[in-house]
Amino acid sequence: MTDFTMNVDADGVAIITWDVPDKSMNILRVEALALIEEMIDQVLSDDSIKGAVITSAKDSFAAGMDLNVLGSIREKSGDEPAQAMFDFTMNGHRILRKIELAGMDPKTKKGGKPIAAALPGTALGIGLEVPLACHRIFCADNPKAKIGLPEIMIGIFPGMGGTTRLVRKLGAVGAAPLLLEGKTLEPKKAKGAGMIDEVVEDPVAAAKEWVLNATDADLVKPWDAKGYKMPGGAPYHPAGFMNYVGASAMVNGKTQGAFPAAQALLSAAYEGALVDFDTALRIEARWFTHILMNPSSSAMIRSLFLNKEALEKGAVRPKDVADQSVKKIGVLGAGMMGAGISLVSAQAGMEVVLIDRDQDAADKGKAYTEAYLDKGIKRGKVTAEKKEAMLGRITATPDLDQLKGCDLIIEAVFEDPGVKAEITQMVEAIIPEDCIFASNTSTLPISDLAKASVRPDQFIGIHFFSPVEKMFLVEIIKGKETGDRAVAKALDYVRQIRKTPIVVNDARFFYANRCIIPYINEGLRMITEGVSPVLIDNAARQLGFPVGPIQLNDETSIDLGAKIARATKAAMGDAYPENPSDELIFWMEEQGRLGRKANAGFFDYDEKGKRTGHWKGLQDKYPLADDQPELTEVQERLMFAQVLEAVRALEEGVLEDIREGDVGAILGWGFAPWSGGPLSWLDILGTPYAADRCDQLAAKYGARFACPPLLREMADKGQSFYGRFDATKKAA
């Protein structure tokens, strides 16, 4: 184990350097804890050593815990996984507390040795919890560095002292956005927030100087000093009590009770603030263990950290294809999608040719990037130089000859097969023979669109979600003849623009829309049954969805839904299943209530476009039923409408990797993140229960809830999706 090394310099300062081999950023591996303690023991016991500086050999400090550790501890623990997790956590607390107390006399608080942290860059999770246990934190003046405790974003919370120390350091109000929202800050803002102490040019030199001049008083943390009072007041203080009431309200307002980690964090902070520091650490460890044992936590870690990271690093990329990084990209269509694609491409350093029918239309698309950058300048996140450079990389023009030299084309023109076929043929006559051609279509089959191409093996779908610059997912669709180089090109491009890819096979609506549409339709169908739209949307929000299906329909536009319904019916003919939601959508379209864009849809809007409430006129057509269904019944209908499509997509080979099904659902349309995704949710339920519930829903509401054969087979065998299909286990 060489993750940490220690050298004592001529001045008697031990420089402990963190440098995990073969990793771009340091992570804390379980074996390294003993090595850290061994070095700290040497610092404290050797009279010739005056103190220590903990730093990193990389340009960042650390990215957090190796989360595979948590799974391995559970697997090796036998019948007592909770005790093993708790013991592991308490051992970490003990080591960090040893750093914090630094050998000082327990009564006089004197005689300790100063230990400082020198951060060359990013410090996240345990990468900040270790410095928080040190006596002084110095950070390089690196505006690209991120400082914070973002664990809440993947379903856990800071459990190695970060919660307890930050609350005691900043108070409940100061710590709340950093802990409960997982906010990360650049160094100067982190200092302003009180997370770190100094921002300097050379953190190691500054830390060493501080160590050599530190006094006994400099080593005593506020919570270890006599007379300590928590900033803003403890929970039993009138002001402090109101802070925790406010924090609880904020958590429930934002999470709707759907995210167990937020509740556990708040409990650890509140209960810990009532007792002494060491007892607070024990309380934090208990709540941390509690959340680690929750299946939601395991599912979120797997999907939002492990699987997401694997997909971003090329887990499904064809192995024998050389690097396909994009240098020059052509974007056909300068509307909202095309403008967004050109923005993120230029942001990634690519040369961009943005094509539209005339110069004014092309310039309007480029202006989208300019407006985006102007907002960044106002927020202090973009410089005038960066704006000039990015805009300089975008050529807005109607001239197709400018596409010469492009190695990737992304078509984002009107969703009409004829229009797309015409532009494909025109552009392929100009671009190099080895250029990959991609369509950003969201509904049209890629294999059909590829028929217009003379090089169908180089034709692929790259489906962005709107708005492009904000959404994290990109869905890559392989047509029947799409070759490996096209897949590799698409994946390398998505990596360049720093988004998360999933790769699926061609089918109607691909994967994401295949699941989103039933979600919306189930909500609309319930309206036709007399279910309150308020109940429907709130049921979804209490499941953790960012918006309910009724609101989502307004956001995506009602006439788009009507257009998709008509096109699907025309394509499927007699096989198209009749749906009461279609009647509702067509009626809304006739009423001119087309959604947010028309300031009138299922919601009413004020003149600024802000929702003012659900449209009462809906009840004239579809009166509210006297008896409203139970909340859980509404929620299960919304959930099963989506997850059964995910199962069918896996069953039919549209999904080739279950990791993509879960990650794609969470990032693509906000599927209940606490669940880890649709297939993870079925594993939490258990396939036997899920199959039984399908039968009950199908008997009551119809064949759309019929149990897919794959789920039935797995239920009969007692299998789980990750037990049967986990690609990481197959690889192992």
Catalytic residue among 38, 75, 80, 151: 151
- Residue 514 CA to residue 207 CA, distance in Å, equals 55
- Please say if 583 is a catalytic residue: no
Q: What is the DSSP string of 46-67?
A: -TT--EEEEEESSSS-B--B-T
198 pairs with which residues across the strands? 138
Rg of the chain, C-alpha, whole Å = 28
Residue 309, both tokens: 């990271």
Q: How are the residues of the chain apportioned to helix, strand and coil, as percentages rounded to the nearest 5?
A: 55, 10, 35
Cα pseudo-dihedral 505, 476, 728, 694, rounded to 10: -60
Question: Does the active-site annotation cover 481?
Answer: no
**Any bridge partners for residue 136, and if so which?**
116
Which of 486, 543, 506, 500 minimizes the C-alpha distance to 670? 543
Q: Can you read off the two tokens belonging to residue 608? A: 């600024």
Which backbone phi and psi does 48 adopt, to 5 degrees? -80, -10
Distances in Å between the Cα of 658 and the Cα atoms of 245, 471, 685, 732 are 41, 21, 17, 16
Which residue in the list 31, 75, 129, 656 is annotated as catalytic? 129
Query: Nearest 5°: phi and psi at 251?
Result: -60, -50
- Angstrom distances, CA of residue 133 to CA of 5, 40, 126, 209: 19, 12, 11, 19
Whether the link from the prior residue into 467 is cis, omega within 30° of 0, is: yes
The rounded distance, in Å, linking the Cα atoms of 510 and 513 is 6
Distances (CA, A) of 571 to 369, 420, 535, 566, 581: 37, 18, 34, 9, 18
HSE, side-chain direction, 13 A CA sphere, residue 78: 2
Residue appearing with tokens 């059909």: 448
Cα–Cα distance, 496 to 349 (Å, whole number): 9
Angle at which helices 81-101 and 68-76 cross, to 10°: 130
Contact 157, 129 (CB under 8 A): no
The rounded distance, in Å, linking the Cα atoms of 189 and 382 is 16
- 282 — phi, psi (to 5°)? -65, -40
Write out the catalytic residue numbers: 129, 151
